[in-house]
Amino acid sequence: MKIATWNINGVKARIANLVQWLESSAPDIVCLQEIKSVDEGFPRLEIEALGYHVETHGQKGFNGVALLSKIKPDEINRGLPGDDTDEQARFIEGVFSVAGGVVRVASLYLPNGNPPEDPVKYPYKLAWMERLKVFAESRLALEEPLILAGDYNVIPEPHDCRDPKQWETDALFLPATRAAFRRLENLGLTDAVRATSDDPLLYSFWDYQAGAWQKNNGIRIDHLMLSPEANDRLLCASIEKHVRSWEKPSDHVPVTATFDFA
């Protein structure tokens, strides 16, 4: 089973690329972020025509997450628990039947947090990460395969960016951000890409500005975090870098992991 995450950066603007990628890569479950669409505006017909079920948690103009799956989900949960006042559409979880049980897959779009000195944005990022930690603890207690996939807006380590000095004061790389990410790992979650490769030049995002793509000045901020039960079944993981070279691309590329749930 191939499970992927992709910050699509506007699903309507990127629908041709999404369809092309679904046809060529043939993932079984896809976690999308930044769909920038309300639920009723999502181009589901084009995706359903390829044999996918579509579940969205949308928001007008920005944010928004979705799950696309060849398997019909048994259960869908929208919104990250822990703050009833949070109206931003950043989290959707699906439960899918597989051989011998279920797999839980969540698509998440973690807040950017910039500028760090903003009295609201960075505290919101850290609070969201703490809520995610509490959620992960509750799901890990079920001892089921769990995949928390998405745009984490976190550069975990210096080798996850081309130029660490460029990011020293950025909310994606601040010590408090990286410490919060480590707390997720310390629960027992494993980064799928780093579990299968120690290549220092693995990036999932290249800015549209300053020739970042042409210079390979990228960062790795899109992650699939796995419970022990999912990690035990992990076969391989990869970053589909070539998608960034397509016409009218997202500034992110798909990250995929393949599992044996037989």
Helix (H), strand (E), coil (C) string for 201-248? CCCCECCCCCCCCCCCCCECCEEEEECHHHHCCEEEEEECHHHHHCCC
Q: Residue 252's closest CA among 12, 25, 18?
A: 18
Q: What is the pLDDT of residues 158-172, one digit of tens each?
A: 999 999 999 999 999
Is omega for the bond preceding 164 within 30 degrees of 0, making it cis?
no
In the prediction, which pLDDT does 200 show? Answer: 85
Instruction: Mark the binding-site residues, compressed into ranges.
Output: 7, 34, 151, 153, 251-252
In the prediction, which pLDDT does 5 show? Answer: 99
Q: Residue 252's closest CA among 25, 2, 32, 23?
A: 32
For the 2-259 domain, the top CATH level (class) is: alpha beta
Q: Check whether 56 has a pLDDT greater than 90.
A: yes
Q: What is the pLDDT of residues 201-226, one digit of tens each?
A: 999 999 999 899 999 999 999 999 99
Residue with tokens 């391989």: 236
**Residue positions annotated with a catalytic role:** 109, 151, 252
Enumerate residues 6+ apart whose C-beta is below 8 A from 140.
146, 187, 188, 189, 227
The domain segmentation of the chain, as residue ranges, is 2-259
Number of H helices, E strands in the chain: 6, 12
Q: Check whether 124 has a pLDDT greater than 90.
A: yes
Q: How far apart are CA 203 and CA 162, in angstroms?
A: 8
Instruction: Mark the binding-site residues for Mg(2+), compressed into ranges.
Output: 7, 34, 151, 153, 251-252
Q: Contact 188/154 with Cβ under 8 angstroms?
A: no
In the prediction, which pLDDT does 262 show? Answer: 84
The pLDDT > 90 percentage for the chain reads: 97
Q: Check whether 198 has a pLDDT greater than 90.
A: no
In the prediction, which pLDDT does 151 show? Answer: 99
The pLDDT > 70 percentage for the chain reads: 100
Q: What is the pLDDT of residues 27-55, one digit of tens each?
A: 999 999 999 999 999 999 999 999 999 99
Q: Residue 151's closest CA among 110, 180, 179?
A: 110
| φ, ψ of residue 24 in degrees (nearest 5) | -85, -35
In Å, the largest CA–CA distance within the chain is: 49
**Tokens read off for 148:** 């928390």
pTM value is 0.97
Give the chain's end-to-end CA distance (angstroms, integer).
Answer: 9
In the prediction, which pLDDT does 100 show? Answer: 85
